Amino acid sequence: MPVLLIGTFDTKGPEFGFVREQLLAGGLEILAIDAGVQGEPGLKPDLTREELFRAAGTSLADVKRAGDRGQAVTTAARGAARLASKLMVEGKVEGVLSLGGSAGTTIGTAAMQALPLGIPKVMVSTLASGQVRPFVGVRDIFMLHAVVDISGVNRISRLVLTNAAQAMIGMVHARRKGLGQAPTESADRPLVTATMFGVTTPCVEAARKQLEGQGNEVLVFHATGVGGQTMEGLIADGLVAGVLDITTTELADELVGGVLSAGPDRLTAAARRGTPQVISVGALDMVNFGPRDTVPAKYAERRFHQHNANVTLMRTTPEENDLLGKEIALKASAAQGPTAILLPLRGVSAIDAEGQPFWWPDADRALFESIRLWRSPNVELVELDLHINDPAFAAAAAEKLQTMMAKKKA
């Protein structure tokens, strides 16, 4: 099977050619895909730009006629993603490597995001030292900083490109040997996902141990925005048998404007797939910001807790909790599979407990009452006179999910 080499061969032909020779010398087969638009390709492709734009639902001639570079990049990215997905289905992808600036990174990572976890993905980018979340998304993409612009093979770029090629060679050969892949007995265990924050760690860790003791494999996701998005993606891919969504704090960031939002589709994948899910309200007492001076001025009079120098937490209000409760209840009520909501009536995080900085019973009551009001009868509601980090709450959540998974399997 080949490694896909995807990029703009009109502007980066010699650089792709250098990488191609490195990969061939390492024993890999190459399928070169050209995503250029204007100049002649500096590297002969195996799949031409005409084929790439045809996969995107248009033609190279139409793209040239439009004369819009931004639209050309967007279209090329769509074509690259569709080609990569098609080749993957046909069993013709052993890895994918790309290099470029903003345009090349957009195109290359679009193809990488279309491939499943575990397929080696290497992106050499001039943007890799900055904000890479839009490019990495929820996939296991290795981004390598180009250091200098990708314009010629020189003493710096030669080192970087060689390292990129060698990384791909190493990953592909490791996969051929089966290194890093789950043993059969592990792969046969039901996969459970869970969400955790530092302030809900005792609960999730206890529940994880209980579920693993019952024969499940548990993946825990840090609820930092990309964590929730990644979990939702795995659920949507049909890889997950059960969801322990203890920590739904990302919903608060989406509502209020914090920095750890997972987007509006958070808490929807399990509902659509019919995957058994236990939902709770972990860390919905807080919205996340960066250093204190990054908090918007309109929130100056709110209640804050300085988690550390780089993380400022803001307490959610009764009004915000009312909206969050409604959102959770409505999303849970749309579920096609067994769903339960567990409420910890004595606090939703480590700092939402009597004597702690975010203890605000009226705000918690607004959250709980909204869930009671808006959830449909098909959603089981379990109210426990416990704090979220009490061992008994963790045990109840794990047992509820295990019971639902067993019933669905039967």
pLDDT single digits (tens) 75-117: 999 999 999 999 999 999 999 999 999 999 999 999 999 998 8
Indicate the pLDDT class of residue 159, thresholds 50, 70 and 90: very high
Mean pLDDT, the chain, whole residue set: 94
Q: What is the DSSP letter of 200?
A: G
Provide the token pair at 141: 């993409």
Indicate the pLDDT class of residue 28, thresholds 50, 70 and 90: very high
Q: In what order do the strands lie in the sheet with 380-384?
A: 217-222, 191-196, 242-245, 277-279, 339-344, 380-384
Alpha carbons 29 and 93: distance in angstroms, whole number: 10
Name which of 300, 331, 324 is nearest 314 in CA terms.
300
Residue with tokens 């030669």, as numbered in its chain: 158
pLDDT over 60 (residue 186) = no
pLDDT tens-place string over residues 294-327: 999 999 999 999 988 889 999 999 999 999 999 9
Name which of 110, 118, 116, 114 is nearest 171 in CA terms.
118
The pLDDT, as a whole number, for residue 408 is: 86
pLDDT over 80 (residue 185) = no
pLDDT over 50 (residue 201) = yes
Alpha carbons 103 and 126: distance in angstroms, whole number: 10
Centre a 10 Å sphere on the Cβ of residue 368 and count the other Cβ atoms it contains.
Answer: 19
The pLDDT, as a whole number, for residue 296 is: 95
The pLDDT, as a whole number, for residue 187 is: 61
Q: What is the mean pLDDT of residues 315-341?
A: 98
Indicate the pLDDT class of residue 256, thresholds 50, 70 and 90: very high
For 322, the enclosing helix (H) or strand (E) is: helix 318-333
**35-to-121, 154, 168 alpha-carbon distances in Å:** 17, 24, 21
**283-to-132, 352, 389 alpha-carbon distances in Å:** 26, 8, 11
Question: Please, how many CA atoms are within 13 Å of residue 79, restricted to the half-sphere of its CB?
Answer: 29
Alpha carbons 208 and 197: distance in angstroms, whole number: 14
**Which residue type occupies 107?**
I
